[in-house]
Structure 1
Amino acid sequence: MSGLHELGALELWRQLHARELGAVELAEHLLDRIDRLDEANAFVHIDAALALERARAADRADDRTGIIHGLPFADKDLTPRAGQPASMGSRALAGQVADHTHPIAQVLDDGGGVVLGRTASPEFGFAGYTRSALHGATTLPGHASLHAGGSSGGAAAAVAQGLLPFAPGSDGGGSIRIPAATCGLVGLKPTRGRIPGQGGIGQVGGLSTAGAIARSVVDVALLTDALIGRVNGVTPHALSLRSPERDDGSLLAAAMRGQGRFRIAVLTGGTPWDSAADIRIAPEATDAVDVTIAALEAFGHEVGEVALPDAAGDLGVPGVAGYPAAFTDLWRGGAATIPIAAAERELLEPLARWIIDTSDRLTAGGLARAQLWATEYERRVLAAFAPWDAVLTPTTALTPRQLDWYPSDDGEADFHAQVLHTPHTSFVNLTGLPAISLPVHETVEGLPMGVQLIGRPGEEASLLAIGRQLERRIPWVERAVSRMRA
């Protein structure tokens, strides 16, 4: 069936469940497309034998209750899977093979998913674009001179090309939302603690969480439910946040209903990076926000404004200069856990080398002060946002970036260029809030532009409901399918 790749994940699941479609048939169709059509360099590894073995098992199974039974997905290249390459996009780890399977890969296996391979990531996921010396650049499908975003750029490019119906990613500073917006897709970063297998808890700074990318809101909800991994409606993990969805407790149910009237604030008063960078919001990003406001008002939602709390100064934590210093130190703290010997650092690319080398100079006191600052800033942001069901920002401040936008020879300058492109995403990770990127707009050149909706802790269901309402009015799914056909 030539059009299988155009169907959404939920419709594919329905056909698989009804035995109108076989998992082998679907996997073979997508494996063939990957082999012929991955011009964006979305995949870095394919394991057709494993995929077909899993698909045959799915077709034989009498029990088809797995939440993503028979549906194809791919691991992000940062996610270990036993027996598969484990380079994490780095020449320093080239040729290594994982000896264990990460809980995120395992929970999708347990949900009945069929893994096809591995999607591209920049070295250790440090960048908001996807390029590595090991695997090359992942580009915006249909635009070979533009980045696809990152660090889950391979996941987004795979979905945008019709190589996967949805894809898991991870997000430590915008790494799901940025490529989703760039590639014209929906991307959800859940609340800290929401995803048992990788939810930020136990990490330095608590920044990174797993999440989902797809063409539609309902498909993102379906994959997020699979990542949560409920059993009989209960999340089987002591550290997982329980949140108050109604009915069967699934995010998919909330997304399919798409109901409710909400109080939504447009973010004003700059970004947390303003003290360190000359942030400019492109007209195309402003247009995306304006399109969203008009649609929200047409649905009868209350739309107002809210300003971010001041992100400059020590907030009562002496020795911290403000948000840029605190976030960067937390980012370095996470990098300090990467097991790269000093002798191997010459193999690192400039961005990773700058982050890891400077992490060597981060003291225990400096990291503790950064965490204390972040905790105080989180408290202030949550207090400011508390009256609102969601807060609206651009996802990216600029249009999709040319391949040479990010310097390849200066790690610090590279980091600064990323801040200019995406100044609204990282504070959501620092505060642990959920956020969804929605592809509401296109530039006159036909490039996607997204907006970000930031929710209350544990209230992914509200974000999905708002997103589903906007999806009924703005034809981004049809646009995504049209791009695949172009």
Structure 2
Amino acid sequence: MTELHELTALEQWQGLQKGEIGVSELTEHYLARINSLNPALGAFVAVTDAAARTRAAEVAAQATRTATLWGLPIGDKDLQQRAGIPARFGSRLMADFVPTESDDLVQALDDAGAVSLGKTATPEFGLPSYTETLAGPPARNPWDLSLGSGGSSGGAAVAVAARMLPFAPGSDGGGSVRIPAAACGLVGLKPSRGRVPAASGVDKLAGLPVAGPLARTVADAALLLDAMIAPLGGRPDHHFTLRSPGDDGGPLLAAAVRGEGRFQLGVMTTSAWDNAYSIEIAPEAQAALALAVAELSALGHGLEETTLEPDDSYAPAFRTIWQAGAAGIPAEGDAQEQLLEPLTRWLMHRGRALTARNLAEALAALSVYERSFIRQLSRFDAVLTPALALTPRPIGWYDAHDGEANFAQQVQYTPFTSMVNVSGLPAIVLPVLETAEGLPMGVQLIGRPGGEATLLALGAQLERRLRWQHRVPAIARA
């Protein structure tokens, strides 16, 4: 007999629509999974059992089931604020903070009919690309508990990979959806800047962070993304919302289900960091890329190797923005600063020491880089890169005290993600390979502005051939 968590999110939604699955039944099933698995994995920092049961009953009582996610469980990343639920931002500093209003993204997912089961783990203020904090246990990789889950949406990735949620929302300011998706064997999609009205990135520093889905299948990722864009299934009505040329405003799920089209693809192993850091691509990452190239070639796509032009401006400019983003952390005085982790304190002080000129020059440099990056890739429908340069990192691998060394480690692990945020382009990570040691390795496809439908179509084609959705970590089979 098939267990509910073995069904895809789309299959669960169809069961809910037909009345074959009850909303409260599904909620209870996942709460039991979380209760069983979370102590070992650290995916959730808070499980809101009572609120979830109340919400499930309210959703079940709704007269109409047309909302995009009607009855489906999710978890809120602990950078998102939900009224009445502690929002700790992965930090001891925020241990007692309880917001009185919900963020726009939380409200959008509520409008879509989702049922939140709790808060998923994130590193302190979402700053690093790994989910290990002093505020709680690390988010452990379900494929090997000695390894990390990536970040900053690490808890969300662990929850989905271990079948504690059917899918989950995350946020991505430098790879924070795609990195944990790659580490945990999931599909992770960073939308175009401006695509998701409630978390467009347009109003953020350098336009970097946007919201995106983590899921086991391409169709599930599209289903959640559709809900983020237009919660009630209609056309998004927001002046920040981007559409690509010819986009009719219809659901992206259709592109993910059909998986149609032949495209011209670039294949790239250079990154924006190559001039500043020594980047080495592990054999496992090379093997994942080679597998994706072979499969896409067999599907009839055109493939051409390409490289990025050397650029000395990117690394110092991005470092400046990363530090500036920490300047506003609400820590004043030594007592509050001592509640922060060493890396966060270093970032905060570096950010607060920046001048207006420093910030203006960095923003200008990244704007120039954005135009250059898009120009260099413009002849392709999508560009294929490794998702990560290395295999998932062991817990405790990152230097906790030396900010410069820590930053270098993050770059060397994740060199292919942040340049996509700077350019505002969409990108999808696909878990194409399982290594001999049983670890997932993925590839990234970078699309044109507003080109999510192309990425989803390509992802669906690879998924049909490689069938990664049937790979299950041993801990999740219990």
Tell whether the 8 Å contact from 1:351 to 1:412 is kept in structure 2 after alignment: no
The secondary structure found in structure 2 opposite 1:147 is coil
**Structure 1 counterpart of 2:392, one-letter code:** P
Tell whether the 8 Å contact from 2:425 to 2:449 is kept in structure 1 after alignment: yes
The percent identity for this pair of structures is: 52
- Corresponding residue for 1:284? 284
Deviation at 1:250? 0.7
Deviation at 1:232? 6.0
2: CA distance, partners of 1:475 / 1:205 = 37
- Corresponding residue for 2:295? 295
The secondary structure found in structure 2 opposite 1:331 is helix
- Corresponding residue for 2:7? 7
- Corresponding residue for 1:138? 139
**Residue 88 (str. 1) matches residue 104 (str. 2):** no
Tell whether the 8 Å contact from 1:205 to 1:331 is kept in structure 2 after alignment: no
1: CA distance, partners of 2:244 / 2:69 = 21
The secondary structure found in structure 1 opposite 2:472 is helix
- Corresponding residue for 1:76? 77
2: CA distance, partners of 1:205 / 1:287 = 34
- Corresponding residue for 1:274? 274
1:467 to 449, 459, 472: 459
2: CA distance, partners of 1:232 / 1:182 = 31
Q: Residues 131-175 of structure 1, C-alpha deviation per residue, up to 9 Å, x if partnerless? A: 110012111014121001111000000001110000000001111
1:403 to 367, 383, 395: 395
Aligned residues: 476
Q: Residues 428-467 of structure 1, C-alpha deviation per residue, up to 9 Å, x if partnerless? A: 1111110000000111101000100000000100000000
- Corresponding residue for 2:48? 47
**Structure 1 counterpart of 2:360, one-letter code:** A
Q: Normalization by structure 2: what TM-score?
A: 0.97
- Corresponding residue for 1:437? 429
Alignment of 1:34-433 (within 5 A): 34-38=34-38, 39-229=40-230, 233-244=234-245, 249-268=250-269, 270-312=270-312, 322-343=313-334, 344-433=336-425
Distance change >3 Å, CA 137–CA 430, structure 1 → 2 = same
Q: Residues 284-311 of structure 1, C-alpha deviation per residue, up to 9 Å, x if partnerless? A: 0000000000000010000002211222
The secondary structure found in structure 1 opposite 2:197 is coil
1: CA distance, partners of 2:332 / 2:160 = 36
Gaps of 5+ in 1: 313-321
2: CA distance, partners of 1:244 / 1:277 = 37
Q: Residues 196-250 of structure 1, C-alpha deviation per residue, up to 9 Å, x if partnerless? A: 1112111111110000000000000000011112556321211111235657611
Deviation at 1:342? 3.5
Tell whether the 8 Å contact from 1:354 to 1:412 is kept in structure 2 after alignment: no
Tell whether the 8 Å contact from 2:81 to 2:103 is kept in structure 1 after alignment: yes
> Please, what is the CA RMSD of the aligned residues?
1.5
Q: Normalization by structure 1: what TM-score?
A: 0.95
The secondary structure found in structure 1 opposite 2:306 is strand
The secondary structure found in structure 2 opposite 1:454 is strand
**Structure 2 counterpart of 1:159, one-letter code:** V
2: CA distance, partners of 1:58 / 1:20 = 16
The secondary structure found in structure 1 opposite 2:163 is coil
2: CA distance, partners of 1:300 / 1:56 = 49
Deviation at 1:480? 3.3
